Chain A
């Protein structure tokens, strides 16, 4: 009964009024950060780190506050995805696909409640998973070599055809643009700069947050200017919020499956919440088949990515706490906080600093209930922050985008780059080229290339190395199936699904 004893220690710390107050405060700030377009969990947590120092918090309190912000931001990200069609953060990208059509159909309240409940399911299950399986799951990382990672990334790309299913050629072009952008920067294997034109700002490549904010938020502003405020996607009304019990019950298996997938994606180092929500959405889409009408505004399409990305957020804490390997961008920032607080994450953390680990886990469980309350009955408060008229909101979006991106790197160059991405996003949307594959290309392209090159170094250029393990072969098989299956399905399909981006 070690687990119960440990949890008792944890709740003893987490239930002190001060810690509880920090958790509630963190949840509130986090949800706002998540809801504001452009400000995601990683820059949100990064911005707030100085706060923990100025408040003089001890290690446990600081960690509780920051992880509450992290979970809160993961919840909040869906609000602007659903209401504005702008992902509040990058993992919430997939939520726009069904959330926004649902909101346009007048079911914004339903979408918010369903996704809130799905977020709770994902986050709750993954926290339980973190608690039970952390020591075990940490070992999974040892099974993943370059070949396995390459197959995993390939799987993500192969299923892209399924997302942008109304025109595969345009989706392929978009993926290539994304992969091309991912090539910019110093090549990890030779140390030589590529496509940087001697500009130092490009040596580290292009931050995907810059691309995301540019392609989504800034492009939206350009559309707004072009249409003089008409014909913009901004401004979906939220009339009343009821609890759609039937939809929640209908999506129960979706939520459970998506949570498991998201959790596993989160545990893998470097994959993180984006891959979690992506894989959760894609697998649910294929489970539902054509009758599922994914992409047209269905409850399952909202529940899957939200359960997936919140589960991944918890999963990403597993490698961070047990191995010191951040599972996502945000956990990398949290890792920085831990090290500043003189806590060395690693396999011994659970035995040497149980009060930190179990206090954190107990706080996460509490934060989850707080977030469920904030995000379902009280969701109107956060919606109000977003439901200001477009002529106020869009300058606000622009301002927050600029502040958010500037806070990432403190570089004006990134701001120019963001505007350039805005123009690109505007042009591409005029041409009806989807922007989602571009983002995925930027996000995964670099890792995918690195994995391939490492595999080739290890095997002296022998291609069969890529199929040398059971895990790799399984991933390849699923990738091929995921790529080929939609082609056959398209012939059976009566009407191509619209992609909303």
Chain B
């Protein structure tokens, strides 16, 4: 019977680990461990506890599925009034809402609390690439439409695909078929394909290319922000190269819709505290994030604008009808 007891103990211990402290706040990361949403939950949750914004450690739940759609549906339909719940979100969330990829769910079914930090969009090429500037690349595409390929970490129609399409559109090339795009499993994979010469350029986020920039495997042609990113001052913006595209992957949170305004403000304040903390500044610097703080009511209207813009663009380029 000792064997049985032992086994029961092991299983019990595992069960116990999965369900600690029911009172503590919960952060749902709508993806498997390892991605940006998981990072958002774990870092923000940890810092909130470290700086005393919450009393108990924030419990992180990974709820992968449908590119965040499963968690979104779960929050809307089952957790509508849960005041202790926060959910990680990013540009991918607003992109998918705009493209109606959450099975009819809309952005106004939750409340967006805020974003603290953004991963700037980048266009990079291998170190031996003939293209020295964003305009070199655009001119090459103009000369031979349909010849060059981009690799990115999101699926076709996703944010990494939209970035080069936005650039081409602002440069006056409206044919969506002017470039080829392959969606691979994450930014590092996309860089590998580009460095290996299988694609001409990679469209991704700054955090995905930091290690490769330092090792000298890639050159960044442009960063898609208003200003150059601190710490990466030698990378020109697309804007200063005459192509006015700003595309950042913000990292933030949403909460259920039916919570009180006090709860909304409470989370907004906590998030602001994290944004102001040294710990968050360090975490951002270590992960290639640029400061991007929009908290509270401002942020909700920002998300609404972004959703509308991406919906229009997606229709123009034919990603959705």
CA–CA, A11 and B3, complex, Å:
36
Task: Assess whether B182 is in contact with A457, with CB atoms less than 8 Å apart.
Answer: yes
CA–CA, A400 and B18, complex, Å:
14
Task: Assess whether A191 is in contact with B20, with CB atoms less than 8 Å apart.
Answer: no
Name the B residues within 8 Å of A388 (CB-CB).
Answer: 3-4, 7
A47 within 8 A of B: yes
Tell me which of A36, A189, A323, A346 contacts B192 (CB under 8 A).
A323
What are 8 A-B pairs at a CB distance below 8 A? Answer: A142-B195, A144-B196, A188-B155, A201-B65, A336-B33, A339-B34, A388-B4, A403-B15
A384 within 8 A of B: yes
Task: Assess whether B158 is in contact with A324, with CB atoms less than 8 Å apart.
Answer: no
Task: Assess whether A198 is in contact with B103, with CB atoms less than 8 Å apart.
Answer: yes
A344 within 8 A of B: yes
Per-residue interface assignment for chain A, residues 177 to 221, with 1 indicating a CB less than 8 Å from any chain B CB and 0 otherwise: 000000000101111000000101101100000000000000000
Give residues 42-74 of B contacting A (CB, 8 Å): 42-43, 46, 57, 61-67, 69-70, 73
CA–CA, A227 and B211, complex, Å:
57
Give residues 386-424 of A contacting B (CB, 8 Å): 387-388, 392, 396, 399-400, 403, 407, 409-411
Task: Assess whether A201 is in contact with B196, with CB atoms less than 8 Å apart.
Answer: no
Given known A385-B7, A399-B11, A454-B182, contact A142–B17 (CB-CB < 8 A): no
**Which segment of B136-144, B166-174, B280-288 sits at the interface?**
B280-288
CB of B58, distance to nearest CB on chain A (Å): 10
**Which segment of B114-122, B212-220, B264-272 sits at the interface?**
B212-220
CA–CA, A336 and B29, complex, Å:
12
A48 within 8 A of B: yes
CA–CA, A393 and B46, complex, Å:
39
Give residues 336-395 of A contacting B (CB, 8 Å): 336-337, 339-340, 342, 344-349, 384-385, 387-388, 392
CA–CA, A335 and B183, complex, Å:
21
Name the B residues within 8 Å of A411 (CB-CB).
Answer: 63, 65, 70
Task: Assess whether A53 is in contact with B57, with CB atoms less than 8 Å apart.
Answer: yes
CB of A179, distance to nearest CB on chain B (Å): 19
Per-residue interface assignment for chain A, residues 298 to 312, with 1 indicating a CB less than 8 Å from any chain B CB and 0 otherwise: 000000000000000
CA–CA, A204 and B43, complex, Å:
25
A141 within 8 A of B: yes
A477 within 8 A of B: no
Given known A385-B3, A410-B61, A457-B149, contact A347–B212 (CB-CB < 8 A): yes
Task: Assess whether B217 is in contact with A347, with CB atoms less than 8 Å apart.
Answer: yes
Task: Assess whether B182 is in contact with A458, with CB atoms less than 8 Å apart.
Answer: yes
B22 within 8 A of A: no
Task: Assess whether A146 is in contact with B198, with CB atoms less than 8 Å apart.
Answer: yes
Tell me which of B20, B39, B65 contacts A50 (CB under 8 A).
B20
Task: Assess whether B199 is in contact with A332, with CB atoms less than 8 Å apart.
Answer: no
Task: Assess whether B214 is in contact with A200, with CB atoms less than 8 Å apart.
Answer: no
Given known A333-B33, A457-B149, A458-B199, contact A188–B10 (CB-CB < 8 A): no
A51 within 8 A of B: yes
Per-residue interface assignment for chain B, residues 93 to 130, with 1 indicating a CB less than 8 Å from any chain A CB and 0 otherwise: 00000010101000000000000000000000000000
CA–CA, A144 and B32, complex, Å:
26
A122 within 8 A of B: no
Task: Assess whether A324 is in contact with B211, with CB atoms less than 8 Å apart.
Answer: yes
Per-residue interface assignment for chain A, residues 442 to 456, with 1 indicating a CB less than 8 Å from any chain B CB and 0 otherwise: 000000001000100
Task: Assess whether A457 is in contact with B180, with CB atoms less than 8 Å apart.
Answer: yes
B254 within 8 A of A: no
Task: Assess whether B188 is in contact with A324, with CB atoms less than 8 Å apart.
Answer: yes
Closest to B147 in A: A460
Name the A residues within 8 Å of B241 (CB-CB).
Answer: none
Name the A residues within 8 Å of B199 (CB-CB).
Answer: 458
CA–CA, A400 and B33, complex, Å:
21
Name the B residues within 8 Å of A326 (CB-CB).
Answer: 34
A163 within 8 A of B: no
Tell me which of B11, B20, B66, B188 contacts A204 (CB under 8 A).
B66
What are the 3 tightest A-B residue pairs by CB atom distance, in nearest-first order?
A346-B211, A336-B33, A347-B215
B78 within 8 A of A: no
Give residues 298-321 of B contacting A (CB, 8 Å): 319
Number of interface residues of B (CB under 8 A): 67
A270 within 8 A of B: yes
CA–CA, A326 and B187, complex, Å:
12
Please tell me the size bucket of the interface on A: 35 or more
CA–CA, A346 and B156, complex, Å:
26
Given known A347-B214, A458-B182, contact A191–B157 (CB-CB < 8 A): yes
Task: Assess whether A50 is in contact with B17, with CB atoms less than 8 Å apart.
Answer: yes
CA–CA, A411 and B61, complex, Å:
12
Given known A340-B42, A348-B211, contact A186–B67 (CB-CB < 8 A): yes
Name the A residues within 8 Å of B149 (CB-CB).
Answer: 457-458
CA–CA, A87 and B245, complex, Å:
52
Task: Assess whether A384 is in contact with B3, with CB atoms less than 8 Å apart.
Answer: yes
B233 within 8 A of A: no
Name the B residues within 8 Å of A384 (CB-CB).
Answer: 3
Name the B residues within 8 Å of A325 (CB-CB).
Answer: 186, 188-189, 192
B184 within 8 A of A: yes
Given known A388-B7, A410-B63, contact A269–B217 (CB-CB < 8 A): no
B38 within 8 A of A: yes
A145 within 8 A of B: yes
A49 within 8 A of B: yes
Tell me which of A50, A145, A333, A346 contacts B214 (CB under 8 A).
A346
CB of A99, distance to nearest CB on chain B (Å): 22
CB of A188, distance to nearest CB on chain B (Å): 5
B250 within 8 A of A: no
Task: Assess whether A348 is in contact with B215, with CB atoms less than 8 Å apart.
Answer: yes
A240 within 8 A of B: no
CA–CA, A49 and B180, complex, Å:
40
CA–CA, A400 and B10, complex, Å:
10
A20 within 8 A of B: no
Task: Assess whether A345 is in contact with B33, with CB atoms less than 8 Å apart.
Answer: no
Name the A residues within 8 Å of B262 (CB-CB).
Answer: none
Task: Assess whether B11 is in contact with A454, with CB atoms less than 8 Å apart.
Answer: no
CB of A25, distance to nearest CB on chain B (Å): 13
Q: A269-B189, A388-B7, A403-B11 are in contact. List 15 more A-B contacts (CB 8 A).
A: A51-B17, A145-B193, A145-B198, A186-B66, A191-B101, A204-B65, A204-B67, A325-B189, A342-B283, A342-B287, A346-B211, A450-B184, A454-B184, A458-B149, A458-B199
A22 within 8 A of B: no
